[in-house]
Amino acid sequence: MDWTALWLSLRLGLVTLAILLPVGLLVGRWLACSRFPGKGFVEAAFALPLVLPPTVVGYYLLVSIGGATPIGQFWNATFGHNLVFSFEGLVLASVIVNLPFAIQPMQRAFEAIAPEIREAAAVSGLSPWQVLLRIDLPLAWPGVAMGLVLTFAHTLGEFGVVLMVGGSIPGETKTIAIAIYDRVQAFDTQGAGIMAATLLMMSLVVLGLTYRLSSNVGRRHGG
């Protein structure tokens, strides 16, 4: 069992969550509540990582944040190391590939709230922020939780982008998914099996809990 890799994966998952929670809430609610020309293309752009092969996303990340690019050079000058093949680079990649996993469930949950409910909140004297905190979030939280769980589980399992952008540096970019691949390559079937089973159990438990919680909420609101 490669504890370093597991810990790195968990850390990557948590940091990704911390970034995608506010991003998903704001973008998801914005897409759910507003209509504007070209909205379909904006939604498509956020959904792209769902359909693109991870290697394609990884390739574009490499050519846009690599050491020779302006972003890469700026990063190097500011922090003294390259963005690619570092934990920070991995976080950036993870945030980008997980955008649809976080945004879409949250957007659907916000869309399920009737617009009159928000209007009623506004005419009851609630400011837009209070409407978000006191009306939208309590009603949409199963969807928000689902977005977070999907993001976390997907981060643990992400392989292609991590390999392209992070490589396999122990303690820095070698996640559990990469470690499993390494073990298989080294014909260590038992080591790979233990890690794979761990990942499988974690994903199942987290997803199962989320489904159970959200079905309870559905019953409570009579919906």
Binding mask 1-40 for other proteins (x = CB under 8 A): ----------------------------------------
Q: Does 134 bind other proteins (CB under 8 A)?
A: yes
Q: Does 127 bind other proteins (CB under 8 A)?
A: yes
Please choose, out of 155-163, 188-196, 199-207, 215-223, the segment that lies near other proteins by the rule CB under 8 A: 215-223
Please choose, out of 12-20, 117-125, 175-183, 200-208, the segment that lies near other proteins by the rule CB under 8 A: 117-125
How many CB atoms sit inside 10 A of residue 158's CB? 24
In whole angstroms, the minimum distance from the beta carbon of 113 to other proteins comes to 9
List 44, 45, 50, 114, residue binding other proteins (CB under 8 A): 114
Residues 37-76 that bind other proteins (CB under 8 A): none
Q: Does 126 bind other proteins (CB under 8 A)?
A: yes
Q: Does 189 bind other proteins (CB under 8 A)?
A: no
Convert the chain into a string of H (helix), E (strand) and C (coil): CCHHHHHHHHHHHHHHHHHHHHHHHHHHHHHHHCCCCCHHHHHHHHHHHHHCCHHHHHHHHHHHHCCCCHHHHHHHHHHCCCCCCCHHHHHHHHHHHHHHHHHHHHHHHHHCCCHHHHHHHHHCCCCHHHHHHHHHHHHHHHHHHHHHHHHHHHHHHCCHHHHHHHCCCCCCCCCHHHHHHHHHHCCCHHHHHHHHHHHHHHHHHHHHHHHHHHHHHHHHCCC
Q: Does 120 bind other proteins (CB under 8 A)?
A: yes
List 116, 187, 190, 212, residue binding other proteins (CB under 8 A): 116
Q: Does 138 bind other proteins (CB under 8 A)?
A: yes
**Sites of contact with other proteins (CB under 8 A):** 114, 116-117, 119-128, 130, 134-135, 138-139, 221-223
